[in-house]
Amino acid sequence: MSRTKRVLIVLTSHAELGDTGRETGYYMPEVAHPWRVFTEAGHRVDLASVRGGRPPASGTDLTDPVQKAFLADPEMAGKLAGTLRPEDVDPSAYDAVFFAGGHGTMWDFPGNPALSALARDVYEAGGVVAALCHGPAALVGVRLSDGRPLVDGKRLTAFSNAEEAAVGLTGVVPFALQTALEELGAKHEAAAEFTAHAVTDGRLVTGQNPASATATAMATVLALAAT
């Protein structure tokens, strides 16, 4: 029987959707559904966010029993109210880091030194780095100790340029996520818009969109089992 492993889900702390006047944040289903998968696999889940404390949420739907269970879980409620700052996280304590999406990630994930170091350290210690939807924005700034981008030459997926256009936010987000990853040498693989799609390349696991939350978490569990 495999030992219990620890997964750190990382959330955005950014609440403003550009200059639209609309609110954003982490996307609740992209946290709740992976939490269910990880806990059902017997793993322990912790939460971090860029600024720590309670991060801003979007997309909450209490008619979804998984989201309702996540928010009602006393342990997770406490962790959500006081998320860890990445600067205060010991990377060696985690077997996987999972960057959840939500449009807010496009502003505060890329190039964040603490997030980049966290992902690099987990990966170079033999752990799994996973990212969902806009969560791969965190990967834009991650370079390995030899200076190469973590995504260079890797198969992956993320919220596609076509999906960004379909939701009308191409001109709102600060950059095109798919394009940025490709410019770093990633081999981006997009499925049909808004359909479930997860890609595993060794210890890098990525999902394309919110519909991919469960599939991406399940792929992360499989990658953890292989480590």
- Positions annotated as catalytic residues are 133-134, 164
Q: Give the pair of three-digit tokens for residue 224.
A: 């953890």
Alpha carbons 97 and 123: distance in angstroms, whole number:
9
Nearest to 198 by CA among 216, 224, 221: 216
Q: What is the torsion angle, in degrees rounded to the nearest 10, for the CA atoms of residue 86, residue 137, residue 140 and residue 84?
A: 0
- Say how far apart CA 211 and CA 96 lie, in whole Å: 21
Q: Which two tokens stand for residue 85?
A: 């700052």
- How many Cα neighbours within 13 Å face the side chain of 104? 26
